[in-house]
């Protein structure tokens, strides 16, 4: 019985190979996959900005964890390009994220309550950027970090 199934499988395989060879006449096997993943992230405002920008494609996402009183980034090495800083608040009070540096001034993600998240997309150039929580007093308490791009 097993032999019979195996034989059938081999037969199918042979048929497939044969048909594949036979069909090599005009590429008529319209096997074009239609799986163009149109799952673009919900970044309506940012896509407009991207269009007017240098067209550097999809931003790299950087996770930023905010709590009392620190900002922790998911990556430390940056090259010039577009980045989305995804802020999540794991602390017990409101936090935000502001970025200042070459070409980026007063760009900030929305301040969020504990458990919340927000994001900001910026184009980073070579140079040094400061990231900090704009909530009064938080930066002084340690919610700041620098990144160097280049």
CB of 126 to Cu ion, least distance (A): 28
Positive or negative torsion for Cα 145, 146, 149, 150: negative
Nearer to Cu ion, 17 or 141 (CB): 141
Nearer to Cu ion among residue 61 and residue 70 (C-beta) = 70
Rounded to the nearest 5 percent, the helix, strand and coil shares of the chain are 20, 40, 40
Q: Give the span between the Cα atoms of 136 and 113, in whole angstroms.
A: 15
Q: How far is the CB of 95 from Cu ion (least distance, A)?
A: 3
Residues that bind Cu ion in the complex, under the rule CB under 5 A: 95, 133, 135, 138, 143
CB of 118 to Cu ion, least distance (A): 13
Q: Which is nearer to Cu ion, 68 or 149 (CB)?
A: 68
Collapsing DSSP to helix, strand or coil, 65 comes out as strand
């Amino acid at each position: 019985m097993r032999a019979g199934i195996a034989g059938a499988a081999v037969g199918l395989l042979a048929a497939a190979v044969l048909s594949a060879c036979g069909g090599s006449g005009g590429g008529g096997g319209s096997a074009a996959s239609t799986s163009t993943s149109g799952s673009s992230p919900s970044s309506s405002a940012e896509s407009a900005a991207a269009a007017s920008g240098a067209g550097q494609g999809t931003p790299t996402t950087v996770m930023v964890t905010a709590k009392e009183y620190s900002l922790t980034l998911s990556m430390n090495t940056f090259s010039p390009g577009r980045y989305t800083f995804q802020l999540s608040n794991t602390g017990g009070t409101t936090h935000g994220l502001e970025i200042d540096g070459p070409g980026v001034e007063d760009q900030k993600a929305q301040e969020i309550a504990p458990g919340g998240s927000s994001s900001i997309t910026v184009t980073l150039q070579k140079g040094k950027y400061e990231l900090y929580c704009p909530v009064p007093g938080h930066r002084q308490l340690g919610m700041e970090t620098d990144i160097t791009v280049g």
